[in-house]
Amino acid sequence: MSPRTLSEKIWDAHVVHKGVEEPDLVFIDLHLIHEVTSPQAFDGLRLAGRKVRHPELTLATADHNVPTTDIDKPVADPISAKQLDVLDANTAEFGIICYPMGHKNQGIVHIMGPEQGYTQPGMTIVCGDSHTSTHGAFGALAFGIGTSEVEHVLATQTLPQLPVKTMAVEVQGSLPRGVSAKDLVLAIIGKLGTGGGIGHIIEYRGEAIRGLSMEGRMTVCNMSIEAGARAGLIAPDETTFAYVKGRDHAPKGEDWDKAVEYWKTLVTDDDAVFDTVVTLDASTLVPAVTWGTNPGQVAFIDSVVPGPDDFTTASEKDAAARALEYMGLTAGTPMREIKVDTVFIGSCTNGRIEDIRAAAAVLEGHRVADGMRALMVPGSHRVKEQAEAEGLDKIFTAAGFEWREPGCSMCLAMNPDKLSVGERSASTSNRNFEGRQGRGGRTHLVSPAVAAATAVKGYFAAPEDL
Amino acid sequence: MKPVTIITGRAVPLDRSDVDTDQIIPSDWLKRVERTGFGAGLFGEWRDDRDFVLNKSEYQGANILIAGENFGTGSSREHAVWALTDYGFEAVISPRFADIFRNNSTKQGLLPVVVEPAVGARLLEEVAKDPSLEITIDVAQGTLEVPALGLTIEFPLDEFTRARFLNGWDDIGLSLRYEDEIESFEQSRPRFMPSTR
Ligand code: SF4
């Protein structure tokens, strides 16, 4: 067989029907569901009189709409409440396990899968959510789909897929102290642009990637979509196996040995060729802060806000001018002189235990700046419990942070946690689009450590500034 | 979906790149559990500005949207496509579409027309100058024509997607043609794969 890349191997292992002048039909090992993109899919099933083919390969949770306070009370927004009820009713009707608000297994869909051991190497995983790429950190082929495709997977457990190009992002060197996986992925998106990955599956490779923890790898893969990529993945290795081992749904006993034996074959062959190769040196990176209204508009904490003149094409210049206007920023302003109103730590990008630890390490012994609104929102109930067991919640509350219940929270404006018009945030989430965190809100994407330092200073800051 | 063969009409020039799906349909609208009625939310925040191109009287009734590159980036929300079709758009022209948006649009009969950046820029300019300009898109031929400009270009469309548009095929039905193969694949899956049971 000719040499293949990792994503091609996983793809080939899942082809149910090889397409001739039509897409391959690909089997889906795990289908994750949440309340926002599934109601119309279940309606479609009912309309056509179809069943869910594999309820046991389907798993649902409530995350986007849930409030992060008073979760023992009914959801106040009637439209959100209805969407959550509809998820409960649909999953009950079709025999799918669902973790509703407040359940000990509930959390952001992309945090829940890995932590319970559902996400494993070599799988195909889909969800009606673009950040499904997160699961690629395990060497799985994982991508976001729309509601029509959700219905398709529910009905057939397969998806027709046209071939995708492959891209290698090779990250040499190692990350300097104080520079995290989030800074790395923002640097990668800055380099590729929001459209650079379109039509590609990215495989992240190289020394810096191998050196990341599983959680760091999830942060990197999570934001693949922000460079336009269909998916992002990392070959599984000992770090991966150690993370999966012993989790609730991980293989056990003899099955574990068989699984690991297979997983070890999931690497790109030495002489396999990628359609595109991009390289980056991790050792030169510093903490990143976005300045504009798409995640490709990235600067570094030591630099200044760029202006239209810093760009070459007319469309980039135009986008920069528009972004500066929306963000209320002037070109040439040092990043450290931009005042911040709200700090949000959480989301499927940075709502895991290592993120909370990183932020707590910076916050310990400090207070947030006067007038600062600071939210710490764990990504799942399990993450929250773990953090509380380590006493991290005390560090946050002592510093003046609000310690919240799990959910998507201020990552997107679908629940009570929102920015108001003109309010500026330092956020560990993944999108700085206009209005993403609330109409008129201004979002800057940062790492958990930078978010924590910024909360203390009141202006963008790196941990060493404290 | 309904068959789509020829799309003829006027276009709206949306001269912006990186139009993300949060802009196409703001997240407030995502709480709805229905599939219809999203047209009112299309470009919700931008439409508050009286001068936004969609609000201009000369572009009312247009059924083709022309935009800058990287159209539909961001979230996987199919609601973005529902908003565009509910509003009355039948095709979007852009030099580059985000993958998930493109996929979603082809499931809903909204035709993504990929053009060279120079062609895209010219169309934006000409339609801004003359809002009455008529455009014809022929799915079978894979051509976009602007007779008043003497312009005819070909655009790429894979044969499978073309056939689905022309015939209005339902994807699930197409995949279930291979139900036997799905069954035999299911038999061969390794036992160690996770399940919720
Ligand atoms: S945390 Fe944000 S990006 Fe992640 S699933 Fe929730 S809304 Fe989407």
pLDDT of residue B1: 83
Q: What is the pLDDT of residue B170?
A: 86
Chain B residues with CB under 8 Å of A83 CB are: 31-33
Interface test with A, best of B52, B77, B175, B197 (most A CBs within 10 A): B175
Please report the pLDDT score of residue A61 as a whole number.
Answer: 97
Q: What is the token pair recorded at A155?
A: 């009905």
Cα separation, B162 vs B140, whole angstroms: 7
Say what the pLDDT of residue A21 is.
86
Cβ of B30 within 8 Å of Cβ of A250? The answer is: no
| Substitution candidate for ligand 1 out of A36, A126, A347 with most atoms within 8 A of CB | A347
Query: How far, in Å, CA of A25 to CA of A29, rounded?
Result: 13
Q: Which pLDDT belongs to residue B168?
A: 93
Size of interface A-B (CB pairs under 8 A): 199
**What is the spatial distance between Cα A348 and Cα A123, in angstroms, rounded to a whole number?**
20
CB A146 within 8 A of CB A127: no
Cβ atoms B50, B24 nearer than 8 A: no
How large a percentage of chain B has pLDDT more than 70? 100
B74 to chain A, any CB pair closer than 8 A? The answer is: yes
Q: Does B194 touch chain A (CB under 8 A)?
A: yes
Q: In what order do the strands lie in the sheet with B11-14?
A: B11-14, B64-67, B91-94, B111-114
- Radius of gyration of chain B from Cα atoms? 19
Q: What is the pLDDT of residue A232?
A: 98
- ipTM of the assembly? 0.93
Q: What per-residue confidence (pLDDT) applies to A100?
A: 94
List pLDDT tens digits, range A186-228: 999 999 999 999 999 999 999 999 999 999 999 999 999 999 9
Measured in angstroms, the CA of B73 and the nearest CA of chain A are apart by: 7
Answer yes or no: are the C-beta atoms of B16 and B67 closer than 8 Å. yes
- Is the model more confident about A315 or about B111? B111
Closest-CA distance of chain B to residue A44, Å: 10
pLDDT tens, residue by residue, B95-104:
999 999 999 9
Predicted confidence pLDDT, tens digits, chain A (466 residues): 799 999 999 999 999 999 998 999 999 999 999 999 999 999 999 999 999 999 999 999 999 999 999 999 999 999 999 999 999 999 999 999 999 999 999 999 999 999 999 999 999 999 999 999 999 999 999 999 999 999 999 999 999 999 999 999 999 999 999 999 999 999 999 999 999 999 999 999 999 999 999 999 999 999 999 999 999 999 999 999 999 999 999 999 999 999 999 999 999 999 999 999 999 999 999 999 999 999 999 999 999 999 999 999 888 999 999 999 999 999 999 999 999 999 999 999 999 999 999 999 999 999 999 999 999 999 999 999 999 999 999 999 999 999 999 999 999 989 999 999 999 999 999 999 999 999 999 999 999 999 999 999 999 999 999 9
Higher pLDDT pick, B197 / B87: B87
At A115-167, the pLDDT tens digits run 999 999 999 999 999 999 999 999 999 999 999 999 999 999 999 999 999 99
The letter for the amino acid at A426 is A
Cβ–Cβ gap A156/B32 under 8 Å = no
Give the side-chain half-sphere CA count within 13 A for A332.
Answer: 1
| C-alpha dist (Å) from residue A158 to A31, A450, B139, B144 | 10, 41, 27, 34
The whole model's pTM is what? 0.96
Q: Which residues contact A401 (CB under 8 A, 6 or more apart)?
A: A343, A345, A363, A368, A374, A375, A376, A455
Residue A91 is predicted with a pLDDT of 98
Instruction: State the distance from the centre of ligand 1 to the C-alpha of A113, rounded, in angstroms.
Output: 14
Kindly report, residue by residue over B12-21, the tens digit of the pLDDT. 999 999 999 9
